Structure 1
Amino acid sequence: MTNRKSKNEPEIPHMKSGSSNNINGSQKKAKPKKDKKPLTPEQKKLKRQRIVAWVLIVCVSIGILGVTGVGALTVKNMKNAPALKKDDFLTQSASTIFDKNGEPIYNTAAKKSDPTTFDQVPQSLIDAFVAVEDSRFFVHGGWDVPRFTKAALSNLLDSLRHGSISFGQGGSTLTMQLIKNQYFMENEDAATGVNRKLQEIYLSTKLEREQVLSKKMIFELYINMINYGVPRTMGADASAQAYFGKRLSEINLTEAAFLAGVINAPSVNNPYYSIEAADERTKEVLYLMNYHGYITDEEYQLAKAVRVEDLLVESSASEGEMFEYQAFIDVAYQEAQELTGLDPGKVSMNIYTSMDPTVQKGIDDFQNRKITDLNPSMIDEEKNEYRPIQVGSVILNNRTGEIAGIVGGFDYNGAFLHNRAIAKNSSPASVMKPHIAYAPAFEYQGLATSHVFLDAPMNYRGTDILIGNYDGRYLGQVPLMMAVADSRNIPALEATQGTIDTIGNEKMVEYLNKLGFSSVSEDNFRPGFAIGDGTFTVSPVELAGANAVMFNDGNYIKPHTITRIEFLDSDREPYVPSHTATPVISDASAWLTTRIMKYAVDSPYNPVISPVRRNYPVFGKTGTNKYDNETADATGVPRNAIKDRLMITATSEYSIATWTGFDSKDKKNPYFIDEYGVDEASQNLTGKLNSYLLDLIEESFGTGDDVARPGSVADIQHILGTFPYQAPVEGMDQSLLATGYIKRDFLKLAEASPKDLSALSDHKVMMNQKGNKFNFDIKMATYPDASQLTVAPSTITMNYPSGGTVDGKRLYDPSWLFGAVRYKSEIRVDGKPIAESMTEGPNQEISVTIENLKGKIEACSYYTFDKSTGKKSNVVCTSVDAKEISVSVPSAGTAFNDFVEQMVAAGFSRDLIQGNYVLEGNKYKSVVSADPNILGKSVKPGDYSGTTIRVNVTDLEITASGDYLRSNLKRAADAGYLTVDTQGKASGVIDSFTVDGVAMSSFRLSDHEGSEVVVNFK
């Protein structure tokens, strides 16, 4: 590569001889303060692992015993250590990676490397490496006992906290790192990790004690074989050319510090990924160089003032240098390391993968911006902003877990090592709602796809943090399918919390672990994970693996790229990974989840997902992460600005999981997606990319079918909005019915019923008698919930936890089927109702004929429904003694027969009522007076038990004289008391008459009532 110098490169002072020769680092200065970064909690380990951590790390920590002591403690481990050969370090091996058809796609020998001898290495780089990696490198014997012991004790504390062996605090010398890079790979297993650490110590001390390699050779080999974050490039010299456009011998102090610092996390510290991280790490190295005396204070201040970005030349990607299939190769290479514990760059292997060349070639075209519609503008000219939108995606076989293609990001041809398909770029937002919220709800709560949620204001349980929806609205009652398609947060949290209440946190965490989210623990799990809680971060490959479960009968297979590994330079047996399916959820709940994801694609709610619609079944879900108001206000980002987007798209056979967003971690000036600008949002990169990837799947594998429905799923029809689900009522309005699917184990319909009625606390009964009837005036206690006294409207009023209300839509209310609450009272005799009243208000008036009140009398009240009176609250009854009822005695002028009947009905004895006719007035059988004098008074019949009531009743005197039309005879005839024959003449003056054939001049009507009278007129 031609030497290139950045046009903005500052002048950096070269090392002074006094400082550059300070090999032993004897000068001491104050130690730098390290910012403590919160660790992501890991899964709790078993108690025995903590014990192993104590024993093994303490043993290792007794470094003061020296090499011999450690050797004595670990004789068994030393016997199993690899044989130490000088040629192992000097000979390079090569491995080949193959696609699914067995065609080679990459050979590790293709890495660019310009080995540098120790004499060619600038002193500044030696000082930088020694300062940051191994300050006593030139004086120890391969193992730095004090440094290792201190690190081991720190690791002990971490190990006890996290339940597994940890070597996170370092302590390895350059010699140990060389040994590790040559013979070992990282291993998380507790016992193996300690054994290998002991073997590293043993081999490192042996390497230097037996002078297999000199110190200079160790340093030379180390800087020539490590990864500096440049794709397909090894070694310090080639990396210096890639970053700075100059040979290693020409670099300045800041550049040396950068190279020494980038190696501890090449992806994170890569300046093309995060210039902030690169600058920060470079300054840390410069500090340590100053601390150990390798540079003066003045040199330190000058060097740290230089920005790394001013030293960089354009990346190879911007020059058009392309590496075919690189995104997939990177993942396969890393997977081979994890599976074998060996580095394919040092141990010759044939690595066979699942990569589909057609799919990955199409992906490479996209990554290299050859697809015009999928190359979003990153320049907002109006706002004069540069927004480097990025992507990461995975195409996964649902049945096998094999990865067919990987999108590592735009320009993934040498510019970046950060593979966004496997990086945990962000929280899942809403994209995992079907899997985290609803699938477990189908499984453990027995929810049907026709379930209805209340989308109402709510806080996270136990907090005052209000949960909102993406649109800032609360809709009221929403069907589950709509809640998923429209990505409502409240229903998802209701479903999640319901599952937690049913099975507990521990089992919920176990479910998420089985889905492939191994970082979730009881310590860090929160219900908010269902809606993309920011503390829960995922990668596209994790999303694809979790999604595939729903299309694989509820079984999880870890996503992978490798199908077979053959070892070329050894007698090792070929390695064939065993990817056993782990049951996660029932096939019923998995299938139900595919239903809601299919609806999410087919429904009109989300335009972002519309590009993936096809004429065959497609399933999916989207997710959007936005900046919170606090961050937006602090950084100047618009409120609700979008940080990133995610989308899952699936056929019955393949899953696609995609992330779009920004790599920048600059919290002071964050990038955001302009929802109305020229970038990703308006072009819908997420949706269009998944559509493009879907086309690639069709080209290689054909179209998908719908997912076969298992026998463990049942159809269900129930009353809308009920849970437990209620059976339909015959003749009910069909619009109030819902149909869906449910796990067959939960197919059970309850009898349709209205809401529970409140208890009736009391009623007051007043009684009075009018005529031959008793009137019961009943006042019931007012119903506690006045809203239930009317049929519910089509809107529902919902309360904010902190006060205030908001209206939403009501899909169903029991009052629409059973009616509103009503007040009802009954008059019962011997327990049987003889009269009743049902009203909208609490006051009742019931009239009962007195003669019916014979037996045990009760006035009973309760609440009920106007269309379902069989449903009632508790019943409150008041007993009534008829004898104690005050009755109104008929007044004078009442017809005697009516008087008798009313008195008898009121409880008086008929036999004790005696009538006595008296001539008074011109009425017949009217009550005149009584003895006792009770006429017109209110009395209790019981007070007159056994008393004879003597009643004077009017009688009429009939005389054979006077005008007939004005006579008592005419009145008696009209009333039907007599039959009168007027001998053809109905008017005139009476001359005489006969009564039953007997001539009379006068008679009392009471004596001849019912007789026949013949009248003779003058």
Structure 2
Amino acid sequence: MNIIISILFIIITILSIIIFKVKGLLILIITLPLYIIYLNSNKIIDIIKKKKKGNNKDNLLERKEVEFVSSSSRRGKVNDDKNKKKKVKPQNKKQANKSRDKKEKSSSKKKGIVRKILTILLGFAIFCVFAATAFMIYIVVSTSNFDPNALVNQDQTVLYDKDGNEFATLGVQKRESVTYDQLPQVLVDAIVATEDSRYYQHNGVDMARFLKATALNLIGRDDAGGASTLTMQTVKNNLTKKDSLETNKIKKIIRKFQDVYLSVFFMEKKYSKEEILEFYVNDSCLGGSVYGVEEASKYYFGKDVSELSLPEASLIAGMYQAPNKYNPYKNPDKAEERRNTVLKLMVRHGYITEEEMKMAQAVSVESMLVGAKADTDYQGYVDTVIDEVEKLTGDNPVVVPMKIYTALDRSIQDGINDVLNGTSYTRWANDSVQAGIAVTNVNDGTIVAVGAGRNREGKRTFNFATQAYRQPGSTAKPLFDYGPGFEYNDFSTYTLFNDEPWTYTNGPSVGNWDNKYQGLITLKQAVSVSRNVPALKAFQQVDKKNIAKFVSSLGIDIAYSTKDENYKEYDNGGDNILNEAYSIGGMSYGVTPLEMAEAYASFANGGYHIESHAVIKIEYRNSDETIVTSDLKEYQKEKVMSDSTAYLMNNVLQYAVEYGFSGGARVYGSTVAAKTGTSNLDAATCKAKGIPIGSVGDLWTVAYTPEYSVALWYGYKENDSTHYLGSASYPKDDLMSAVFKSIPKTTKKWEIPSSVVAVTVEKETWPAQLASEYTPDSMKITEYFKKGTQPTEVSQRYAKLPAVTNLKSTKEGSNYKLTWNFKTPDILDSAYLSKYFSNSVYGNQSANYLQARLDYNNNTLGGFGFGIYKKTSTGNLELIDFIDSKSTEYTYKPTSNGSVDIIVRAEYKNFKDNASDETKITISANNVKELEISLSGNESISVTKGNYNEKGIIVKYNDKNVTLLSDITYTLNNTTYKSKSELEDEINRLEADKEVEITYSATYNKITKKITRKIKIIEG
């Protein structure tokens, strides 16, 4: 053990002197006494024992003196006691030796224990010193060489589009440096009071604050803070952090110790406090890509830094902590709150008075700002990239030089820019109305274009594509209602809902946008015309845990309860717990256009979620570190739904574009699916802000192709009495139409997967049933089902009717009575229909649907009954009569002698397609009175144009003229007339050289006969 300790001591001493040179002797001074104590631990223990033994002897003498004094006063008594005492025998020599050995062994054992304890403590102390030394050595070795040039010169960050072409730069070229003499004292005081109050007292590190922050970081405390001095921050911004991806707390702590090392041993040695402060104010990011205090002064206040007032200086000083959070253009309220905090700190440290603070606080932030312009036409996209890089790496690309390769598609982005700036779309209501647009590639999740808003001033201001959380309206329905229904409840595109008066589970009613109800409606139709009641019913049918799981998997945080890991509470008092209002877009917080484009992309790509991202690759220019986003876990494809769910939704939303509310996304010759959404302002908000009741807060269209997903939000950032939307959605539709002109057309289709089957079903059947052979085309519809859930039963509504049986004939005088048997099908039985329409899908309208079916059967189909036919010599059927189904007998009256085949069929009066097979009976008639019909005049005549005079016909019954008693009609060119005059007028209007045929029909005693005449029109 002694050898090991000695070797460690020698190693520590040699390395300390090599690395720290003269300063390394300090470590020797600390470790040498510990080493000496360890080697001489036995002697030290003996010395301690001897000292302890000496103390014991002194105590014994003191006790004897006390006893002597006491015994003198009691001598008489003591003498008496002596006589009474018994003599004690002395111990023998053997016993004395044994006792002495035992004491020596005990002493040796105690000595060994003490030595072990000292060895452990000393070893631990040396280990700690060695570990600390090793850590310091690592810090020194791993820290880049101090480069003074890095304090004034940095590489730029360059952004590249999808084709590898540069489209923006960030960093050094935007900076305007100033000297310390140009800094107003009020700014210096504000920065020191806020960022490093002991700046002029320490040598680069505020050790008390630093050690406290380090310890809290190690135990994972979020409130640990940085405790970095101005010197350390300057080192971090220019020398250390740009070489490190702080992906964990250990790396962050290592980097902070590197900051300390460079600050104490280099910065504070080489530069004065004034020079360090000069570096600090020139190299810090102060919002967006604003770099350095001089640019910040001009960007925010339109003046040089030397001209800053106390309110302005304190605002800038407050931004160093979190430049984007306290950006006055982006968050004026937070910026003002932070400025007031800085002013209070200045009072605490004696730089200003209370009165000066109050005067400065009275100046509003908005009144100080001068407005700003973007650096590039792609500023919205640049802002999105910067936010993403900071989230991904913890580094600001404005400060840390990088090469950032993005997915920007300039042709799409340019098109969106032209829409927002009024070049290609000119119907903006005013300069205040806003729009947020996000376009993503559905196959890899990349953001190809961003419409961050209209009339944006400056860099990293509010981004309506990524930061505008708004109520999604009906665009929520595919996500919260129908998507989960497809996935978990085996919904089909045909699934029926009754659009009727309905309520939420807790009581309030829900209505539709038009305040009407459409009754029984398929899922596909309900989505296409955005009905609320079916959406709520769909939501109520699916387990809420499944809905929360489904929506969250698409990138929108929804919790089922407060116990969920992703449960959130929002500043507006709401939370993200799922409730029924979400079914029609009534979310507590809302969603952004980018989130909606990302969510809908999962339908387009077959059921995969990919977190949207603009960055493809990041290369650090000051190191060899590279990040490829496709390699990162968070950007991997994740299967979140079945391919059947994705396809069914694509089918439904494509139908909505073609036959329903397209939201301006219809592009002829291109495959597009879309859903619109409208969010109304609640009555309380309207009343409070003086807005008409029923006004709209948000208008949406989310559309996608097999390649791109596009989400558009349209509205005002803040609604008030002069800024609100009416109920009309045409501005948004026209806007989306303009946006889609920039989206590449595609004829690519969503291929039907093997997990989905297309089936032709009969309308109004529930559960869905196959169309029968005789179902009218108007009652057939092709719908899509998850394989294994498709209908297999054929509907009987229009199925072929059963034939009559036991048809018989009985002669009654000259007539014949026909009788037969017939079993009425269930589908026509009123009791069966009553039960059928009691199904829950018909809701509270069962009786109405039953009556509607009966009315349809009677009026459209003509009622069910039996057709009585006579078969002609040509084999055709000639209708004799149609009787109601209540009767199964009929009296046939022959019109001529001889045999005749009589046919009886079960059928509808108007709809003959599904009539039963023929049931025939032959009747031989004799002594039958006959009806005869003849023409007055020739069978074929020629008349001059305009001079036709109808001669009529003669009708006889058993040789008796019954013409005047007969019902006579005249048919010409498929038009039937009931009078001669009408016929004559029509023929006299005909042109010459026309040949026509008149069909005469005479009916008497239920016997009908027909005859024809040909007419030729000639010139007069």
TM-score range, shorter chain: 0.5 to 0.7
Which of 695, 712, 720 is matched with 2:741 structurally?
695
Letter in 2 for 1:556: H
Which of 259, 278, 283 is matched with 1:220 structurally?
278
Change over 3 Å in CA distance of 1:440–1:155 after alignment to 2: farther
Which of 189, 203, 208 is matched with 2:263 structurally?
208
Change over 3 Å in CA distance of 1:751–1:731 after alignment to 2: closer
What is residue 687 of structure 2 aligned with on the other side?
633
Distance in 1 (CA, whole Å) between partners of 2:512 and 2:213 is: 47
Q: Is 1:601 aligned to 2:663, yes or no?
A: no
Which of 161, 173, 185 is matched with 1:123 structurally?
185
1:200 positional shift: 4.1
TM-score normalised by L of structure 1 = 0.58
CA contact (8 A) 1:396 1:403 kept: yes
What is residue 514 of structure 1 aligned with on the other side?
553
Change over 3 Å in CA distance of 1:305–1:570 after alignment to 2: closer
Change over 3 Å in CA distance of 1:726–1:798 after alignment to 2: closer
Find the residue that maps to 2:711 and give its secondary structure: strand
Q: Is 1:404 aligned to 2:448, yes or no?
A: yes
1:269-284 to structure 2, matched below 5 A, reads 269-284=326-341
Find the residue that maps to 1:234 and give its secondary structure: coil
Find the residue that maps to 1:697 and give its secondary structure: coil
CA deviation digits over 1:684-704, x for unaligned, max 9?
A: 1x3333322321123xxx434
CA contact (8 A) 1:792 1:815 kept: no
Looking at secondary structure, tell me which structure has more helix per residue.
2
Task: Between the two structures, name the one with larger relative contact order (CA 8 Å, sep ≥ 6).
Answer: 1
Change over 3 Å in CA distance of 1:603–1:201 after alignment to 2: same
What is residue 743 of structure 1 aligned with on the other side?
786
What is residue 758 of structure 2 aligned with on the other side?
715
Letter in 1 for 2:281: I
1:78 positional shift: 4.7
Change over 3 Å in CA distance of 1:353–1:611 after alignment to 2: closer
What is residue 656 of structure 1 aligned with on the other side?
710
Q: Percent identity?
A: 30
Letter in 2 for 1:499: V
Letter in 2 for 1:442: F
Distance in 1 (CA, whole Å) between partners of 2:600 and 2:789 is: 24
What is residue 645 of structure 2 aligned with on the other side?
589
Change over 3 Å in CA distance of 1:425–1:573 after alignment to 2: closer
Change over 3 Å in CA distance of 1:479–1:113 after alignment to 2: same
Q: Is 1:498 aligned to 2:553, yes or no?
A: no
CA contact (8 A) 1:718 1:749 kept: no
Distance in 1 (CA, whole Å) between partners of 2:832 and 2:402 is: 76
Distance in 2 (CA, whole Å) between partners of 1:222 and 1:704 is: 57
Distance in 2 (CA, whole Å) between partners of 1:574 and 1:108 is: 19
Find the residue that maps to 1:432 and give its secondary structure: helix
What is residue 526 of structure 1 aligned with on the other side?
578
Find the residue that maps to 1:593 and give its secondary structure: helix
Distance in 1 (CA, whole Å) between partners of 2:170 and 2:622 is: 15
CA contact (8 A) 1:152 1:167 kept: no
Find the residue that maps to 1:696 and give its secondary structure: coil
Which of 291, 300, 305 is matched with 1:243 structurally?
300
TM-score normalised by L of structure 2 = 0.58
CA deviation digits over 1:589-645, x for unaligned, max 9?
A: 111111121122223446xx1364434332111222332222222232333332232
Change over 3 Å in CA distance of 1:482–1:201 after alignment to 2: same
Distance in 2 (CA, whole Å) between partners of 1:293 and 1:148 is: 24
1:284 positional shift: 3.8
What is residue 675 of structure 1 aligned with on the other side?
726
Distance in 2 (CA, whole Å) between partners of 1:188 and 1:818 is: 77
CA deviation digits over 1:439-494, x for unaligned, max 9?
A: 22112110011112234555554x45554444455554432123222333333333
What is residue 597 of structure 2 aligned with on the other side?
544
CA contact (8 A) 2:473 2:584 kept: yes
Distance in 1 (CA, whole Å) between partners of 2:225 and 2:779 is: 64
Which of 461, 466, 470 is matched with 1:422 structurally?
466
1:186 positional shift: 12
1:247 positional shift: 0.8
Which of 513, 520, 528 is matched with 1:485 structurally?
528
Find the residue that maps to 2:473 and give its secondary structure: coil
1:406 positional shift: 1.7
CA contact (8 A) 1:612 1:687 kept: no
Distance in 1 (CA, whole Å) between partners of 2:681 and 2:422 is: 28
Change over 3 Å in CA distance of 1:734–1:703 after alignment to 2: closer
Q: Is 1:563 aligned to 2:616, yes or no?
A: yes
CA contact (8 A) 1:643 1:672 kept: no
Which of 332, 340, 345 is matched with 2:385 structurally?
332
Deviates more, 1:476-485 or 1:715-724: 715-724
CA deviation digits over 1:216-268, x for unaligned, max 9?
A: 44443333233333x54311211111221111111111112222334555455
What is residue 144 of structure 2 aligned with on the other side?
83
Which of 344, 349, 352 is matched with 1:295 structurally?
352
Which of 408, 413, 418 is matched with 1:365 structurally?
418
Distance in 2 (CA, whole Å) between partners of 1:267 and 1:682 is: 35
Distance in 2 (CA, whole Å) between partners of 1:322 and 1:483 is: 46
CA contact (8 A) 2:407 2:616 kept: yes
Taking only aligned residues, the RMSD between alpha carbons, in angstroms, comes to 4.6
Which of 306, 310, 313 is matched with 2:363 structurally?
306
1:926-1005 to structure 2, matched below 5 A, reads none
1:296 positional shift: 1.8
Distance in 2 (CA, whole Å) between partners of 1:513 and 1:185 is: 35
Letter in 2 for 1:688: D
Distance in 1 (CA, whole Å) between partners of 2:262 and 2:285 is: 23
Distance in 1 (CA, whole Å) between partners of 2:155 and 2:244 is: 26
Distance in 1 (CA, whole Å) between partners of 2:507 and 2:129 is: 61
Q: Is 1:706 aligned to 2:749, yes or no?
A: yes
Change over 3 Å in CA distance of 1:745–1:146 after alignment to 2: farther
Q: Is 1:437 aligned to 2:481, yes or no?
A: yes
1:195 positional shift: 1.1
Find the residue that maps to 1:690 and give its secondary structure: helix
CA deviation digits over 1:804-852, x for unaligned, max 9?
A: xxx8997789986999xxxxxxxxxxxxxxxxxxxxxxxxxxxxxxxxx
Distance in 1 (CA, whole Å) between partners of 2:247 and 2:503 is: 47
Letter in 1 for 2:653: M
CA deviation digits over 1:22-72, x for unaligned, max 9?
A: xxxxxxxxxxxxxxxxxxxxxxxxxxxxxxxxxxxxxxxxxxxxx999968
Change over 3 Å in CA distance of 1:798–1:70 after alignment to 2: farther
CA contact (8 A) 1:477 1:809 kept: no
Distance in 1 (CA, whole Å) between partners of 2:535 and 2:243 is: 38
CA deviation digits over 1:345-375, x for unaligned, max 9?
A: 4554433322222222233333433335254
Query: For structure 1, which runs of at least 5 residues remain unmatched after alignment?
Result: 1-66, 160-164, 379-387, 755-785, 800-806, 820-1018
Distance in 2 (CA, whole Å) between partners of 1:591 and 1:343 is: 41
CA deviation digits over 1:91-110, x for unaligned, max 9?
A: 31123222222222122257
Distance in 2 (CA, whole Å) between partners of 1:374 and 1:170 is: 51
What is residue 1014 of structure 2 aligned with on the other side?
none
Letter in 2 for 1:261: G
Change over 3 Å in CA distance of 1:292–1:485 after alignment to 2: farther
What is residue 822 of structure 1 aligned with on the other side?
none
